[in-house]
Structure 1
């Protein structure tokens, strides 16, 4: 019988736990009907670690994931306005906890593109980006978001999260892609632009600042983007993001020598282990609205990714358990220097493509990241900022789903206005107002159009 089968009715759930802890519980004693497994979902797949082929596949997938998240974590931390190391910290403890307590067998939790962008957008009005006060607020935000996610899971409202209309999410992610590129314009062109400029302000600054566009960062960014595009088509064994970073960095330093210029680089990374941190509970009242917005976005994104991979693997999906796992991940992460983490579609896709069989792959990715980081941290100072900027342009493009947008526009007329309003609000207003306006527009549109219309219902 498979590991997903249940415990015999004559054996108490606690007995299965004792047998497991003593190493004598066979896999068939762990059933979805167990009293233990809903609270401790990792007990369902833990016995599979004894199978050498499963262990080997998960460790190889974990190694691939650890390599991929190195440049990705640094890039996302930059997007979040955090020091580079914090993107890697977000890929450690949250990744382990979500794998152990979440519902999804294949989803990987950690730094994510839209979540990173939203972090800076929500906290930047409260403190100078990158300052110690800003970092403290972000870590406290992680704590509050985790608490809200955990409460939602315990209240068993997972099914209601799925009612957020696809049109609102599509509009938000498309707008987020624009904001990601906008945040990197200065880095991509070698211009000294202040942080937090709107799209209109950035365009005005580029044409009126009087600064000259620098050739070296443009070369670095273009090389990174083009190598990534080529690797997506032709590389089967090496992750495209890794090839893009290595190739882009090499070309940047070669061009720097030819041009006699010095590229701006990432600061050196500290030690491999995340430092302990303590949320500042006095700041919670200032973070209630940002935390609500972040929670809505994070749980919607994580639930969508987890459900997609569960459907792909033909496995059951428990939205409430996933909320609990995500909540515990962020709660724990807030004490280990993590900014808000969520399910990562990119890393989850890499995880599956690398042959992951159980959540051990995600756990091993976090552990192996610590090991790898202890060796490569000093080399981070050679990584050009423009390469990270080019990488974020690639990430931004990956956020846009033209097929979904075309489908909503052609076949779901009631979703057109909510999608456009959310997109416009994301680009021009604060992200809180963008999502609130999108939800309000979707609600009004559905009431006017009648029941059972659109891509979702409110």
Structure 2
């Protein structure tokens, strides 16, 4: 990647903005208009999930989209409200305030500001690789869990029930089942009709705005039926200045949610950016993307926006619509602001049951069934991680399920790396003379020699009874202090005569460091096993 000037590193849009042509702008305008139409029902729906007023979902798709486009690295990623993050916002903040209340809104904005600060710091400290520790199985399990949480939380709106919300998905399901006798048939009819319209339009017109059409259909049906709960009017104004402040104690209580939101937001953004980049051929700078996402949340928090991240649907549509530069995201935000100014009053007629139906469609689309099936077929450990993350999402607060999945992934990773393969090779492969075979063992170590693997390696090497022990080190990538100490102890015991072959530069440097040079400098490090065998034959 070409070097950048300090000014370009601070303002990355200075790198691509001068290269934008008229043809690029034309393509970006068309893609932006398409994206603005698609996000309209999503923004309102996601705000409902988050427990925020409907307009906040649209605000979140305006300001963060512009900031992330200017300061991120992807040319096609569009940021805004997402279903998974909206659920975490609700489950985190609803512990301290009633959904939709002024305090709830203020805490949601505070959560957004704090998450943005965490993301920005991670980007400035070059922590881009940290998202690799959140495995694909964790993301799949979490999104599937979030989908079910969304569906269960919307059941009461689909059925027209007036019940309180529980703290977990299981509690919400129990409360809903207990109130089934109070089901409103009008609300249920509208909800089912909305789902049916969306599915039919998606089937007959795959690239069409199926959710927008379904929302219009639900609105018309509600006007015909009458006497159903409506979303209510939204102010036809642009995002207003807001002050995301709260006491330190509350921020500390939300700390787990803040970290979960920050991590999940980054994982979503990077995953989507890389997915689109595989098609476009663009190189993604993970650290710059962290900075872009952090700034978009920090600045967005002061303009009535709750937590945002990359949107898979909008980014995919943006690319397939022919977007060429990040200007498409800016145009999408501008068009959405225009729509908000002139068409916001019409949101008053949207039935809540219709929005619940749209959210059921969103929830279904979140579950990646083919990849989940593949993982269960091919990898037992990753299947455990996926299933555990999903179950945790059902039983615990949603943000905690991420930590469950990450800890399990880390456990399996450490377990695997702490047990490197000790492969004993038949000496005859290297044409060892028959009289030397009983006293010669050739061992290939496939894995690094570090504090976590020392006990396993020491047990395996000590179990060998051969006098001459040839270590093939081609599979050893590094040796830490504890690993070098373990090998030095084995050499000094003189139970075996060690012959190290095919050692890479980094592990060899560790063995010859000042602390262990007295032990290893007296040994010969051979280029290959044949040289070591020649030495054994002489002795």
Aligned mates of 2:146, 2:180 — CA distance in 1:
28
Aligned to 2:16: 45
Aligned mates of 1:163, 1:241 — CA distance in 2:
34
SS at structure 1 position matched to 2:310:
strand
Aligned to 1:445: 412
Aligned mates of 1:237, 1:176 — CA distance in 2:
25
Instruction: Provide Cα deviations, 1:6-64, integer angstroms capped at 9, x if missing partner.
Output: 9xxxxxxxxxxxxxxxxxxxxxxxx6644443332212321344x22211111111111
Distance 1:149 1:197, change over 3 A: closer
Aligned mates of 2:389, 2:366 — CA distance in 1:
15
Aligned mates of 1:54, 1:224 — CA distance in 2:
37
SS at structure 1 position matched to 2:95:
helix
User: Of 279, 284, 290, which residue of structure 1 is paired with 2:244?
Assistant: 279
Aligned mates of 1:208, 1:237 — CA distance in 2:
40
SS at structure 2 position matched to 1:229:
helix
Q: Residue 153 in 1 paired to residue 123 in 2? A: yes
Structure 2: any 5+ residue segments left out of the alignment?
A: 421-539
Aligned to 2:291: 324
| Residues 153 and 321 in structure 1, CA contact (< 8 A), matched pair in contact too | yes
Aligned to 1:265: 230
Aligned to 2:319: 352
Structure 1: any 5+ residue segments left out of the alignment?
A: 1-5, 7-30, 454-458
Distance 1:415 1:270, change over 3 A: same
Q: Residue 195 in 1 paired to residue 165 in 2? A: yes
Report the CA distance between 1:148 and its aligned residue.
Answer: 0.5
Aligned mates of 1:159, 1:213 — CA distance in 2:
49
| Rg (Cα) greater in structure | 2
Aligned mates of 1:452, 1:328 — CA distance in 2:
42
Aligned mates of 1:37, 1:451 — CA distance in 2:
43
TM-score with structure 2 setting the length:
0.74
Report the CA distance between 1:416 and its aligned residue.
Answer: 1.6
| Residues 32 and 38 in structure 1, CA contact (< 8 A), matched pair in contact too | no
Which residues of 2 match residues 361-376 of structure 1 at below 5 A? 361-376=328-343
| Residues 167 and 397 in structure 2, CA contact (< 8 A), matched pair in contact too | no
Aligned mates of 1:197, 1:188 — CA distance in 2:
19
Aligned to 2:347: 380
Q: Residue 313 in 1 paired to residue 284 in 2? A: no
Count of residues in correspondence between the two structures: 418
Report the CA distance between 1:208 and its aligned residue.
Answer: 3.0
Q: Structure with the greater relative contact order (CA < 8 A, sep ≥ 6): 1 or 2?
A: 1
Q: Residue 225 in 1 paired to residue 195 in 2? A: yes
Instruction: Provide Cα deviations, 1:254-291, integer angstroms capped at 9, x if missing partner.
Output: 3x0xxxx4121111011321110112153433332221
User: Of 70, 86, 100, which residue of structure 2 is paired with 1:130?
Assistant: 100
Which residues of 2 match residues 87-236 of structure 1 at below 5 A? 87-196=57-166, 198-209=168-179, 211-235=181-205
Hey, which bits of structure 1, 4+ residues long, moved more than 6 A?
none
Q: Which moved more, 1:279-288 or 1:55-64?
A: 279-288
| Residues 236 and 341 in structure 2, CA contact (< 8 A), matched pair in contact too | yes
Aligned mates of 1:377, 1:177 — CA distance in 2:
27
User: Of 200, 209, 215, which residue of structure 2 is paired with 1:239?
Assistant: 209
Aligned mates of 1:184, 1:222 — CA distance in 2:
13
